[in-house]
């Protein structure tokens, strides 16, 4: 689902914080909130379990394994 690493998301959020400081603009806040949400909900998909309907899925977030 997510092609970004957690570190890349954190770097992007840091960049938007930097822009926001210079421009003092609320237009970036919704985007910054989305990045923060992606960081907060980031899943490393450490353990997959078998699901009869969808195949293999992450035990933590439910994302299915693309084989």
Spatial contact of 49 and 57, defined as CB atoms under 8 Å apart: yes
Q: Is pLDDT above 60 for 1?
A: no
What is the separation, in whole angstroms, between the first and last Cα of the chain?
A: 14
Q: Is pLDDT above 80 for 35?
A: yes
Retrieve residue 18's tokens.
């930097």
Sequence-separated (6 or more) residues with CB below 8 Å from residue 20: 28, 29, 32
pLDDT at position 10, please? 92
- Whole-model pTM: value is 0.63
């Amino acid at each position: 689902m997510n092609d970004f690493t957690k570190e890349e998301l954190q770097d992007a959020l840091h960049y938007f914080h930097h822009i926001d400081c210079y421009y003092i603009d609320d237009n970036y806040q919704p985007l910054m909130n989305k990045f923060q949400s992606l960081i907060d909900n980031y899943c490393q998909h450490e353990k997959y379990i078998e699901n009869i309907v969808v195949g293999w899925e992450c035990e933590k977030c439910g994302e299915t394994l693309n084989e």
